């Protein structure tokens, strides 16, 4: 079974550490980005099978990250994570 390459984006280091560790323990290759700006930088260099991103970040939010990922590779699967209840 293929292990999808994942870009995990969040501005909360505890989320990055916890979720990243869980995914890696299952054998997924995970690259992390602390915020949208870093994610855009990484996406300029690398293509991922999956992008998991927080929705609310400053100055670039999860929608900005997902747009960039899809521009680079329309086949990229995307997942939005959020702690916001609204």
Which pTM was predicted? 0.91
Per-residue pLDDT at 82 exceeds 90 = no
Domain count, the chain: 1
Q: What is the pLDDT of residues 20-30, one digit of tens each?
A: 999 999 999 99
Domain extent, residue 68, equals 6-81
Alpha carbon dihedral 6, 71, 65, 30, in 10-degree steps, equals 10
CATH of residue 34's domain is 3.40.50.2300
What is the model's pLDDT at position 48?
Answer: 95
Residue 53, strand partner residues = 9, 80
21, part of any domain:
yes
Q: List, in sequence order, every beta strand (DSSP E) within 1-86.
A: 6-10, 30-34, 50-54, 77-81
Strand order in the sheet with 30-34: 30-34, 6-10, 50-54, 77-81
């Amino acid at each position: 079974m293929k292990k999808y390459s994942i870009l995990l984006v969040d501005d909360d280091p505890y989320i990055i550490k916890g979720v990243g560790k869980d995914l890696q323990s299952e054998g997924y290759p995970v690259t992390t980005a602390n915020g949208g700006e870093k994610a855009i930088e990484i996406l300029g260099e690398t293509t991922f099978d999956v992008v998991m991103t927080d929705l609310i970040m400053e100055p670039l939010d999860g929608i900005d990250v997902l747009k960039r990922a899809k521009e680079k590779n329309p086949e990229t699967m995307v997942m939005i994570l959020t702690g916001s209840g609204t």
